[in-house]
Structures are given as structure tokens and as C-alpha cells.
Amino acid sequence: MLRIGIFGAAAIAPQAIIEPARRRDDVMVHAVASRRPGVAADYAKKHKIAIGYDGYEALLADPQIDIVYNALPPSEHAKWSIAALEAGKHVLCEKPFAMNGAEAAQMVAAAERTGLQLLEAFHDRHHPAFLHIMKLKQGGKLGQIKTVKAEFAATIPFDPRSIRHDPAAGGGALMDLGCYPVHWVRTILGEEPDLVVAASGTRNPLGVDESIIATLRFPSGILADVSCGMAKGTPFKALLTVQCEHGSVEIENPVLPHRGHSIRERLNGGFRHHTVAGGTTYDYQLQALLDVVTGRAQPLTGGADAVGNMMVIDAIYAKAGFER
């Protein structure tokens, strides 16, 4: 039985790790930690977790913890993920992986130094819906890819107390939402962009990006458009579109396909509109994490992939003129 400890009394943790773990008999959430006195104990009681620690150090000192789920703000990802690795724990770190590419590289170096696993929590990457798109490409059904467009937008009303709007905590539309489209296009194309052709964005009152649009060029010559937005009144939209030699493929809602998605394939003169059966993205993510930790699989969202995503985010911000 592997045991997980959670950094942060986070709202995402129940759906991301607590509930998926309860659906299994080979892993359990054993503890949660918060720096705010009493918060972890209350959270542990609410979610039926054995232990609530006041402070992350106490959780790291627990010899029963095998894996740490880092659900802290992005500004705390590097420090505490590295601390967990150095304490002998594997780490699943929430997206975005770090504040920038340099921090991401330090985190990956710590994982390599300790011989432990460090994965970024791109849960959507493991779902059968996204894997279906990858199989189309890998099986030659798309032919040569011409362009890719990836979009993710949703209303996140401005709140100066929210980490999603706070530059010091790692807020911003690109960090919170746009990291997904960046990951989609990098994964589909299987290479890193060599140029941000263009990028622009709008700012919230604290100065972080409220929306971003960017065009990326890849070594193959393929162009990819990515966009994200979180301004008030923004309707939910998550869409990945691939234009290719044999037609096009679209997947609507690749980020949370278990809440409803559709795949539209216009290939070789035919048309197929369908969905792919499956559980929650988080259940597949937990399975992938356990497979990697136990040596049954190689990570899809660790190491170079995690560093690469942050490097692209850095480059988009630089091209758009955002000082970070």
C-alpha cells in the first residue's frame, strides 16, 4: 500500500487525488499539511484523512509517506517539490510546474539527483480521449500535420486575494489555463517550438495576463496558435484543432473529457463525430503515477516535458511584453 501526503488544503485535491485514491486498494491519502494552524486538521476531518499536519516539514518527516501531491501555489512548487524529493518522496506537482523554466530545471535536477519520480499534473494527457488523438497521429491516419490550434478559456472573476490573479503567487491566464494548450500542441507535434512568432495579451489590475494569444513555430515548420483567457464574462471553451494532410481532427473539451467531450474527424473524405468512453482524467493520472513510481512505465509529464512547457510559457510572456 502506497501512501500519499498532500501539501496544501487545496480545493482541487478531492477530485484530483483523494477521491481517485479511494477508488483503489493499492494507495491511500494518509496525511495533509498546511502552514495555517488548525486548517490541516479540519481538512483531514472533512475528507476522512488520517493526519493533518501544521507545516509541510512535519509531513516530510513522516516515514509512511511515499508520494507527495504538491497542490500549493506555483510560487511554492519548486521549493517544496525539491524538499519532498530530498526527503525521499516521489512528487506529483500541480500545473503550472514552476514559476519559470529555470525553476523547472532545478526541480528536475533534484529528481535526477535523488533518483525519485517527479511528474507534472497534466491529468488530461492520460485520458483515452487524448490518447485517441495521439494514436491517429502515430498510426499515420493524419498524414502530415499542417497547423494546430489550441484554446482554453473560462471566467475566473478578478479577486485580488486569489492566487490566480496574483503575480507573486504565479497567477495569470497563461499559467493557470494556457499551460494546457501549450502542452497540447507540444505533445501532438512531438517537438519544441523554436520561435514565438507573435504574442499579445491583456492585463488585470494587478498586472498579470487576463488573456494571451500566441503563434508558435516548430522546427518542422508547423505553426501552432494558442490562446487563453479568464476575464469576467468569458464563456468556457476548450478546443484542440489539427489541420492535416488527410483533413482535420477536433477534440472539444480535451481538458476535462469525463465531463463531456466530442471528437470530430474529417479524414479522407469521411466524417466521424464521436466520444471515447472512460473514467475521470484524475483516475488515469493516478494510475499513471503509480505505474511510474513502481517502475511499470515511463513518465509522460515529467523531466524534459515539464521543463519544455515552462520554457515555452516564458518565451510567450517575453514576446508579449510581460515582465515576470
| pLDDT single digits (tens) 108-155 | 999 999 999 999 999 999 999 999 999 999 999 999 999 999 999 999
Of the candidates 73, 104, 120, which is a domain's last residue? 120
Please compute the mean of the pLDDT values over residues 178-193 and round it to a whole number: 98
pLDDT for res 58: 97
Residues 106 and 142 grouped into a single domain: no
Residues 83 and 133 grouped into a single domain: no
**Could you tell me the CATH number of the domain that includes residue 47?**
3.40.50.720
Residues 115 and 128 grouped into a single domain: no
Residues 31 and 134 grouped into a single domain: no
Please compute the mean of the pLDDT values over residues 267-290 and round it to a whole number: 97
Of the candidates 74, 101, 120, which is a domain's last residue? 120
**Could you tell me the CATH number of the domain that includes residue 229?**
3.30.360.10
Residues 93 and 129 grouped into a single domain: no
Q: Tens digits of per-residue pLDDT, 76-86? A: 999 999 999 99
Please compute the mean of the pLDDT values over residues 194-205 and round it to a whole number: 97
Residues 95 and 130 grouped into a single domain: no
Residues 60 and 176 grouped into a single domain: no
Residues 275 and 165 grouped into a single domain: yes
pLDDT for res 147: 98
Is 95 marked active-site?
yes
SS (H, E, C) the chain: CEEEEEECCCCCHHHHHHHHHHCCCCEEEEEEEECCCCHHHHHHHHCCCCEEEECHHHHHCCCCCCEEEECCCHHHHHHHHHHHHHCCCEEEECCCCCCCHHHHHHHHHHHHHHCCCEEECCHHHHCHHHHHHHHHHHCCCCCCEEEEEEEEECCCCCCCCCHHHCHHHCCCHHHHHHHHHHHHHHHHHCCCCCEEEEEEEEECCCCCEEEEEEEEECCCCCEEEEEEECCCCCCCEEEEEEEECCEEEEEECCCCHHHCCEEEEEECCEEEEECCCCCCHHHHHHHHHHHHHCCCCCCCCECHHHHHHHHHHHHHHHHHCCCC
Q: Kindly report the average pLDDT of the chain as a whole number.
A: 97
Residues 70 and 191 grouped into a single domain: no
pLDDT for res 323: 84
| Residue 260 lies in domain | 124-320
Q: Tens digits of per-residue pLDDT, 145-182? A: 999 999 999 999 999 989 999 999 999 999 999 999 99
pLDDT for res 324: 77
Residues 131 and 115 grouped into a single domain: no
pLDDT for res 49: 98
Exactly one of 95, 137, 149, 319 is catalytic; name it. Answer: 95
Of the candidates 73, 96, 120, which is a domain's last residue? 120
Given pLDDT bands bounded at 50, 70 and 90, which one contains residue 281?
Answer: very high
Number of domains in the chain: 2
Residues 271 and 308 grouped into a single domain: yes
Its pTM stands at 0.97
Residues 217 and 299 grouped into a single domain: yes
pLDDT for res 91: 98
